[in-house]
Structure 1
Amino acid sequence: MTGRKLFPVIHIHPILIIFLFIGFITGTFMEIVIMLGIVLFHELGHYIMATSFQWRIKSITLWVFGGVMDTDEHGNRPVYEEALVSIAGPLQHVFIYLFIFITAPMNVVSSSTMELILYYNNVILLFNLLPVWPLDGGKCLFTLLSAFIPYKKAHTITILTSVWVSAGILITQLFILPFTLSSVFILLFILLENRTEWKQRYYVFLRFLSKRFYGTSYAKKSVPIYVSSARTLFDVFSLFIRERKHVIYISNQEDNRSKIDEEECLRAYFHEKQYSITVGEVKRMG
């Protein structure tokens, strides 16, 4: 039996390496180091909270103004856990404010360095609270939406919101605010991340369904779903809400109604590989 790792595997994203190199040749290396330290402290907040819930964590990837914690938990954990893990990162900035408040009068570091720490702590905190994927604000938005509406729809809304917000900020940065190459570079990178997430949305949803089928999902109550017998299994799955167990009521042409448990539909899709079958056909087969 292997024990859990005390510290996560940490990767440095190529974009951060580029910024470190730019900082070195432009004389802003200290600013980059401070940003990196704050980002690392931020991500450790996520990691500590996630390990307290015994999440399976693969690694943490650091990039400018943020990072991404890669886990094996994908919509199968309670909503409150995902919310707390997302909030734990921004909460770390409160401790940095306390550090500044306590140590500033002691002159532990120079006033200029302390001002840089305060400035980047503000910027990184506010930046991560934006409703943009994969930032904490975007993850909180997704967690909140997926608690009340179907998982697939929540994921789609989150990505589209993220793209519109990122594009709006980018346009503002280009035509209204003073131009900074670093801000434009970061926003373009986020838009590319959202493009990748959009292309992978089908696989993200399948991963959610597979976790649900293999018994690792968490359900608080049962909620009925009403569909026609002609709806495909994937159409029915698109109505699934996390933390809800669904009983599916099927109406047919004779205006009769029967019901089937979601487990039967998931079994037909994943175990029997009936990808194009309708829910009515699953009921008749059963």
Structure 2
Amino acid sequence: MFASYLPTIYVHPTLIIFGIIAFLTGSLMELVIIFSLVFIHEMGHYAAARLYDWQVEKVVLWVFGGVLITNTNEDKRMLEEFMVTIAGPCQHLFIYFAITAFTKLGWIEGTISELILYYNLLIFVFNLLPIWPLDGGRILFFFLTSIFPFQKAVQMILLISMCSIILFFLIYTWLYTFALSILLLCLFLFLDNVLEWKRRFIKNIQFLLQLYRRSWKPASTYNLLVPADTAFHKVASCFYREKLHKITVVYSRDTTVTMEEKDYLKAYFENKNFNVRIGDYLKQLKP
């Protein structure tokens, strides 16, 4: 009965690798604690997603974090995504108060309690680093998309993320000692960001498709001025989240033509006018 409320759980191969390392080094208790904390963290994301009726496909668990895989075609609002994102880190605050209370009641031994609270703090802080796809990276991405066009924000968060991974590894190695587990973790995150960088234009196309299928009207309108000789597909790189775009194509100082967002996106997806200049395309529409 309880299992019906849980999502499909997928254990990432990196967690299996860390499990083998933990077994060989006699650190199984630490691994169990970390896995339990990560599971509770992801269930926080999942519970918040269910409150907003998101279609959750699966939850991927790996060391020090996880990923909630949802339907990318869903019409999600930024506030909803933000609330689902912070629901994960909030679980660590509940865990802290719960473990502290259980320790005072004598339900948990002091040494085990200290170990749980140590890893709870470690996972909490680590997940708030500006690294994609950690929660800190996603939170930073929300702020970037509120200032910059979506495509530029994607490029910025990935560059910041890759630099942060390298910086984190160097600082950790300098303050402590070299650790194979940290190296593997950073390597996995860095390669994942490299893969996301290669897919950044696909991510923008998915974003445009969400705009095209949007069932609600944004509160603000963004007037986008573009020269008539701008390539049709280049206009899409200037689109923002949660704004209704009104495209003004400038032929000359006194000659402009306005194009609605829906009309542009329909042409983008249905007519495949990628390389034609937007000014030439609008001229073709005239009878």
Separation in 1 of the partners of 2:74 and 2:157?
Answer: 14
Q: Structure 1 222/254 Cα, relative in aligned 2: closer, same or farther at 3 Å?
A: closer
Separation in 1 of the partners of 2:134 and 2:115?
Answer: 22
User: Is residue 208 of structure 1 aligned with residue 207 of structure 2?
Assistant: yes
Separation in 1 of the partners of 2:275 and 2:62?
Answer: 41
| CA drift at 1:73 | 3.8
Q: Corresponding residue for 1:13? A: 12
Percent of aligned pairs sharing the same letter: 36
- Is 1:217–1:243's contact at 8 Å kept on the other side of the alignment? no
CA deviation vs aligned residue, 1:2-55 (integer Å, no higher than 9, x gap): xxx621100000000111121122210010000000000000000010110111
Q: Corresponding residue for 2:156? A: 157
| CA drift at 1:175 | 4.2
Q: Structure 1 207/285 Cα, relative in aligned 2: closer, same or farther at 3 Å?
A: same
Match runs of 1:4-153 below 5 Å: 6-73=5-72, 76-153=75-152
The one-letter amino acid paired with 1:101 is T
The one-letter amino acid paired with 1:210 is L
- Is 1:232–1:278's contact at 8 Å kept on the other side of the alignment? yes
| CA drift at 1:94 | 0.7
Separation in 1 of the partners of 2:191 and 2:217?
Answer: 32
| CA drift at 1:115 | 0.9
Query: TM-score w.r.t. structure 1 length?
Result: 0.94
The one-letter amino acid paired with 2:23 is F
Q: Structure 1 214/74 Cα, relative in aligned 2: closer, same or farther at 3 Å?
A: closer
| CA drift at 1:186 | 0.7
The one-letter amino acid paired with 1:221 is S
Name the SS of the counterpart of 1:147 in structure 2: helix
User: Is residue 227 of structure 1 aligned with residue 226 of structure 2?
Assistant: yes
- Is 2:10–2:61's contact at 8 Å kept on the other side of the alignment? yes
User: Is residue 246 of structure 1 aligned with residue 263 of structure 2?
Assistant: no
Name the SS of the counterpart of 1:131 in structure 2: coil
Q: Structure 1 279/69 Cα, relative in aligned 2: closer, same or farther at 3 Å?
A: same
| CA drift at 1:176 | 4.7
| CA drift at 1:280 | 1.1
Separation in 2 of the partners of 1:174 and 1:111?
Answer: 29
Separation in 1 of the partners of 2:276 and 2:169?
Answer: 44
Name the SS of the counterpart of 1:219 in structure 2: coil
The answer to which of 181-190 and 132-141 deviates more is 181-190
Q: Structure 1 61/23 Cα, relative in aligned 2: closer, same or farther at 3 Å?
A: same
Tell me the matched-pair count: 282
Separation in 2 of the partners of 1:276 and 1:267?
Answer: 15
Name the SS of the counterpart of 2:219 in structure 1: strand
- Is 2:73–2:209's contact at 8 Å kept on the other side of the alignment? no
Match runs of 1:180-195 below 5 Å: 180-195=179-194
CA deviation vs aligned residue, 1:137-170 (integer Å, no higher than 9, x gap): 0001111211222000111110000011111112
User: Is residue 167 of structure 1 aligned with residue 166 of structure 2?
Assistant: yes
- Is 1:75–1:208's contact at 8 Å kept on the other side of the alignment? no
| CA drift at 1:185 | 1.3
CA deviation vs aligned residue, 1:255-286 (integer Å, no higher than 9, x gap): 41121112111111101122212221232233
The one-letter amino acid paired with 1:116 is L
- Is 1:76–1:208's contact at 8 Å kept on the other side of the alignment? no
Q: Structure 1 47/177 Cα, relative in aligned 2: closer, same or farther at 3 Å?
A: same
The one-letter amino acid paired with 1:112 is T
The one-letter amino acid paired with 2:62 is W
Q: Unaligned stretches of 5+ in structure 2? A: none
- Is 1:56–1:73's contact at 8 Å kept on the other side of the alignment? no
| CA drift at 1:72 | 1.3
The one-letter amino acid paired with 1:18 is I
- Is 1:43–1:69's contact at 8 Å kept on the other side of the alignment? yes
Name the SS of the counterpart of 2:57 in structure 1: strand
Separation in 1 of the partners of 2:139 and 2:253?
Answer: 44
